[in-house]
Structure 1
Amino acid sequence: MFDDSGFDAYKHTQLDARAASADPHHLVLMLIEGFLDELARVEGHIEAKQFDRKAKSIAKCLDILSGLDTALDREKGGQLAENLHQLYDFCGRRLFEVSVSNDLSGLEVIYKVMGDLKDGWENIAAS
């Protein structure tokens, strides 16, 4: 059908172009969207028992969470930044638990937390 490497290269180029022209708000939104996309891959890899791919996808998710957390200015951001830090940390710990157990039910709360954050960032953009 399609050459996955060519399609992946195309997607990566498109993502690079979007990121290069995005403001910080949109970059955060892009990271959250990327996280949710990769989380769906984790789910698919667990279902297919492709545990090597699951491990790579979980590592990507953890990298994205780390990037989101590192971008927080906890001095200027005050309680909001601290709350986001705690949410990212919670999702990372929960993701680790899912990785060890391969229990898909553990993904529900991660989807919920990150989906709510995505909705919040989208609402900020709209206002």
Structure 2
Amino acid sequence: MFDADTGFDIYQHTQTDARAAQASPRELVLMLMDGLLDEIARAEGHIQAGRNREKGISIAKAIDILGGLDSALDMEQGGELAANLHQLYDYCGRQLFGASVHNDLSQLVPVVRVLQDLREGWDRLGQEAGA
């Protein structure tokens, strides 16, 4: 059931599940963005250390998270914004794939920049709504 190696990993997974169950849609997006950025950072470390198997696992997880974000888009109701997000997620996925295939850290840089900008926008959205 778990890929976890330690009790702490299982605890973290349980905590994440509990947070997700109580989160608003905006908070879920922020959680996914945080997880995505963390996984990309792990992939970067694996590329630098030459750990190809682990790099592949991290890139696959990151692409899966992008797929989850993309599948949550409502293309009918979301209009141009949803279409633009779809294109950004597609671009990020292609860049991640290229970084993995070529062990090219430079392909991760624009992905991290795009995702940080998107995350910041979602975070600001919540601050403005709460004000």
Q: Within the alignment, does 1:44 sit opposite 2:69 as a pair?
A: no
Q: TM-score if structure 2 supplies the norm length?
A: 0.93
Measured in 2, the distance between the counterparts of 1:49 and 1:9 equals: 27
Aligned to 1:110: 111
Give the Cα separation in 2 of the matches to 1:7 and 1:110.
Answer: 29
Alignment match, 1:25: 26
Give the alignment of 1:33-112 within 5 angstroms.
Answer: 33-112=34-113
Shift of 1:4: 4.9
Determine helix, strand or coil for the equivalent of 2:6: helix
The offset of 1:8, in angstroms, is: 1.0
Secondary structure of 2:46's partner? helix
Report deviation, 1:13: 1.0
Letter of the structure 1 residue corresponding to residue 101 of structure 2: V
What 5-or-longer segments of structure 1 have no aligned partner? none
Q: 1:29: Cα distance to partner?
A: 0.9
Count of residue pairs the alignment pairs up: 125
For residues 56-106 of structure 1, the C-alpha deviation after alignment (integer angstroms, 9 at most, x for no partner) is 111100100000000000000000000000000000000010011101111
3-state SS of paired residue (1:118): helix
How far apart, in 1, do the equivalents of 2:76 and 2:63 lie? 23
Percent of aligned positions with the same letter in both sequences?
59
Give the letter for the 2:108 counterpart.
Answer: L
1:5 alignment counterpart: 6
In 2, Cα distance between equivalents of 1:6 and 1:108: 33
What letter matches 1:86 in structure 2? Answer: Q
Q: Where do 5+ consecutive residues of structure 2 fail to align?
A: none
Q: Secondary structure at the match of 2:50?
A: coil
In structure 2, distance between residues paired with 1:117 and 1:45: 25
Amino acid at match of 2:20: A
RMSD, aligned CA? 1.1
